[in-house]
Amino acid sequence: MSAKPKIFIDGESGTTGLQIYSRLNQRDDIEIVSIEASKRKDATERAKLINAVDVVILCLPDDAAREAVSLVTNTSVKILDASTAYRTAQGWVYGFPELNPGQREKIASAQFVSNPGCYPTGFLACIRPLIAKGILKADFPITVNAVSGYSGGGKNLIQKYDAFHTTQAVGESLYPYGIYGLQFGHKHVKEMHYYSGLASPPLFVPSVGDFEQGMLVQVPLPLWILDNPPSGEVIYEAIAEYYQSQKFVQVTPFKELTLLREETFLDAKAMNGSNFVQIFVFANDATKEALLVARLDNLGKGASGAAVQNLNIMLNFPEELGL
C-alpha cells in the first residue's frame, strides 16, 4: 500500500457517494482519485482506476456494483461495497465492527467488505446481543417497526419529496411505504435475518417520515410468551455489557428520560451528523413487555459514516478519523 493510500469512490455523485466524498475530501492522509464525469460508465476507464488504487468504495446500484467487482484483477485492491449486492455473500466480510467479537479484525484483513444497511444497523445493534448472550432464544418471534428520513431512498425519493414540498405544507406525516413496506419482502430482511442469529426472518415494516435525515428502529418484545421472561434491567445490562468498549454505540441509561424531547418523545433526528447509534431499552416488568429502540443517522452510521469507519479499519488507521 502506498504511503498515502489512494481511494476511488465509484458512484461519487450519488447520495451516499457525495456524503463519503465530503467526509474524505477534508483529510490529508489519503488521496481521492476521481473519474471524469464523461467516463463514469466507461468500463475500461473504471477498470483502470479500480485496479490502480488501494481501496475502492462502491456507491452504486446492485447490478452496477457486481459489474465493478467483476472488473477487479488486482488482488491487492480492497473493495468496500455500499450496495446490498454482497451483504450476505460468501467471501465478503460484513462491515459492522461492533456486531460480534472479532468482527473488526475480520474487516481489517479482508479484501472484500460489505457496508451494512441503515435499517439492519439499528436492528442488529438492538437484537444481536440478546441472541448472542442467550437472553432470547433463536426462535423468538421478532417484529421491527422503523422510520427513516426520506434521504434513505436515494435521489429518486429525495426528488419526489422535494417536489411534494413545493406544493404541500410540510407536516409530521409518516408513510409506510410501497411494495417493501406494505407487501413485505424488503431487501434488508435477508441481511437482518442472516446476522441476527434468529431462526426465522423478522417481520419488518419500514416507513418514511416527512423529514430528510434521521432514523428510529423499534423492536417490541412480547416477553409474556416466555416461561421465565427476563426483566427489563437484565435486558439492559446484557446490551450495555456487549457494547461497553464500543465508541460508536451508545447504550443510554436504563429508564433515563432526559434524552427524550420533553421526556416523552424520541426525536428521530437527534443523531444526525454523527456516526453514533443510540440504543434505548424500555420495559414494564408487570406486563412482561419491552421495547428496544435504535436511533441513528441513516446517512451516518447507517451509510457514509459507517463506510468511513470501515475504510479506516481497512487502512489500519484510527477508527474515528473523519468522524
The catalytic residues are: 118
**Among residues 303, 259, 305, which one has the least CA distance to residue 279?**
259
Residues 6+ apart with CB under 8 A from 66: 85
Residue type at position 47:
A
> Reduced to 3 states, what is the DSSP secondary structure of residue 148?
strand
Residues 6+ apart with CB under 8 A from 97: 103, 104, 107, 246, 309, 310, 313, 319
Place of cell 418471534: 141
Helices 154-167 and 15-24: crossing angle in degrees, nearest 10, is 100
DSSP per-residue codes, 173-229: -EEE-HHHHHH---TTHHHHHHHHT-SS--EEEEEEESSSS-EEEEEEE-GGGSSSP
